[in-house]
Structure 1
Amino acid sequence: MRFLCLVFCTAGCLHDSRTPQEAGTFPDASSVDGGAPVLLDGGGNSDEEALCLTLDVEYHRMLCLEDKVKRMVATEGPLAALCYSESLIIRRAMTNCHLLGHYVGEALLAFHDDWVAAFSACPEGCQYGCHHGVLEGYVAQQALRPDEAEVAIRGIAREVADICDSLSARDEPPWSRCVHGLGHGLVASGYLSLETVVSVCEGSGDITFTVTCLGGAFMEWVDRYLEISEEELLELTPQICPEFENWRHRQLCASAVGEGFMWFTAMDTERAQEMCGYVGDFQEGVWCREGAREARTGRG
């Protein structure tokens, strides 16, 4: 079923044959009018791609492909870049492409210079990575004085939250993609400690908003650890999550660790659960393994 879905999604990847410079804009997510539609060929097997795909750790392969995916957004549009990213799964070069979707969103934001327009132009695919990447980029790219950063980012978070509320009802995907992406951005900004990010996500007092925002925040926090070697990762595993007093924070963070391990092991559930044994705290290890099992349902 999963394979058939991916084949269907990728087979439908038609994109505008014009470059954004020729068209004056990127093709919209819901329309590819203007220009002859062509079937995306998956990006080809360039030397750059071939080198990236030799890396042992799947997450490292995605990091390596960042420049290629962002160039594809600039020359062929976001839909082409998303389709290329999904084609890597069809070709069994990857087991997921969510991080590549983030790169598409970041590149779209650079083109539009307006996060709402970029968010609206995001194609679906790669577990909504494009939408998450737009919000991550928007918050992370704020140039702030360190002594003013916390107050400024709290204000930005309130502004984004209000716009997220205007996108759709809370039980519909646009809202959750928006708030989840905000959580990514709060951590990616680098201005705030994780504890402060938690307090920002909790600022509204709304539990649904808090959990959705924290889901993105903890995911982003864990992802930075996935850039290192497995030996280093396991050594640092007990330190990834702070010693939160709130059990819900501990659960969400530990679950994100388990999900991150699934990324790191190319969706090897058995190995990811073994890695959860390095967490240290027994209950957090249980939550980590639960997060690993749930990772197959998709991110965000």
Structure 2
Amino acid sequence: ENNSNALELSIALSKIGLIDDCHFVSHEVGHVAFKENPSVIENLIGMDGTMCRGGYFHGVLAAYFHDVQEDGDPFPSDYNTVCNDLIGTSNYQDCVHGLGHGMVHYFEEDLESSLQMCQDMSFYQDVLCTGGVMMQYTDNVLTRQGISKNVISNLCLQSELDIVDFVECNVSTGITLAFFTDHDFEEGSKLCELIENKQGQNYCLEGLRFEIQDSEKFKAEPLTLDKREKYQPQFVEGGSKVIDIQSPAIISNFQFEPKARLISFVIDRPQYVAMYIPNEFLSSKMIVAVNGQIPDELEVKGNVLGERVSMIRFVPDDSGLVMISPLS
């Protein structure tokens, strides 16, 4: 309750302009909460991840991994299950993103090790985790070394990162600069333009613009838990593989028949559904149907971000049974 009250106060202060944005303040609230009660899940269950855009969750995870590192303990082998008690809630994605923040606290300047831990998770877990890694990494470097042309140009080197991580790193640089400049686009733009790599500069501006717009949107019309997207991974083949599902709707009765390449589940409301499915689980030709009808809004994309993963996104007209099956 005290943690929720602290976040409510942070939101109020940001709305009246006494602080720029409550997101990073809520990181500190999360740090303090974990120090007082060193249990990740006990600090997260019952909290509202929409408050201050998940910053409290990021702070709790960062504090957890910081303590593991300070104690000289090995990196937790069960790190990818730390958030599992939150699966099925909209808070699960804040927790997985927070893992990325925490990894940087553990591995510090060893960016490659943090990214590898993210990559060992499922496709969308990796996306969320890598976003947290890059936000914490860019914040750490710019805080410790200051912002200069040399520092910011060498922050996300194209020669050292694959294309996906290069993009994410520069976008995160823009997000970080938004906080450094009190979400002032003109001031942030001047700093993005210090980046020598033109592509990196453009991605930085993209991240800066996104963060400013997202911050303003949160202050004007905060998301609610009911409306917010829920990340609901489905573990198959004994838990060794994951089918990632995102939707404001609640997923239930999930079934997967690997030999038939048949996936089915029930949605409780007509809200968009986005899925990331390992290619090995899909037929090259398939039918996506809701209550036996093919949705009007349906998008299928293979090898997303160069990975052997396909995206299926659709907007159903009704709640009910979803079936993805081979086209015979």
Structure with bigger helix share is 1
- Secondary structure in 1 matching 2:120: coil
CA contact (8 A) 1:85 1:100 kept: yes
Residue matched to 1:134: 60
Are residue 80 (structure 1) and residue 5 (structure 2) matched?
A: yes
2:35 pairs, out of 97, 100, 110, with 110
CA contact (8 A) 2:178 2:188 kept: yes
Structure 1 residues 191-225: Cα deviation after superposition (integer angstroms, max 9, x where no partner)? 56001111111113x22111100100100011124
Structure 1 residues 206-262: Cα deviation after superposition (integer angstroms, max 9, x where no partner)? 2211110010010001112443696x4444111222443410000000000011111
Identity of aligned residues (%): 23
Bigger relative contact order, structure 1 or 2, given CA contacts below 8 A and separation 6+?
1
Tell me how large the CA RMSD over aligned residues is.
2.4
Structure with bigger strand share is 2
CA contact (8 A) 2:29 2:56 kept: yes
Letter in 2 for 1:134: V
Residue matched to 1:168: 87
Cα distance, 1:235–1:244 mapped onto 2, change above 3 Å:
closer
Residue matched to 1:297: 214
Q: Please list every run of 5 or more consecutive structure 2 residues that lacks an aligned counterpart in the other structure.
A: 219-328
Q: How many angstroms apart in 1 are the aligned matches of 2:166 and 2:206? A: 13
| Structure 2 counterparts to residues 47-196 of structure 1, below 5 A | 77-124=2-49, 125-143=51-69, 152-153=74-75, 156=76, 158-169=77-88, 172-191=89-108, 193-196=110-113
Shift >4 Å, 4+ stretches? 143-146
Q: How many angstroms apart in 2 are the aligned matches of 1:96 and 1:182? A: 22
TM-score w.r.t. the length of structure 2 is: 0.59
Residue matched to 2:176: 260
1:236 pairs, out of 151, 157, 161, with 151
TM-score w.r.t. the length of structure 1 is: 0.65
Letter in 2 for 1:239: N
Q: How many residues align?
A: 213
Cα distance, 1:143–1:254 mapped onto 2, change above 3 Å:
closer
Please state how far the C-alpha of 1:190 moved relative to its aligned partner.
Answer: 4.2
CA contact (8 A) 2:107 2:114 kept: no
CA contact (8 A) 1:132 1:182 kept: yes
Q: How many angstroms apart in 1 are the aligned matches of 2:113 and 2:178? A: 27
User: Which of the two has higher C-alpha Rg?
Assistant: 2
Cα distance, 1:292–1:197 mapped onto 2, change above 3 Å:
same
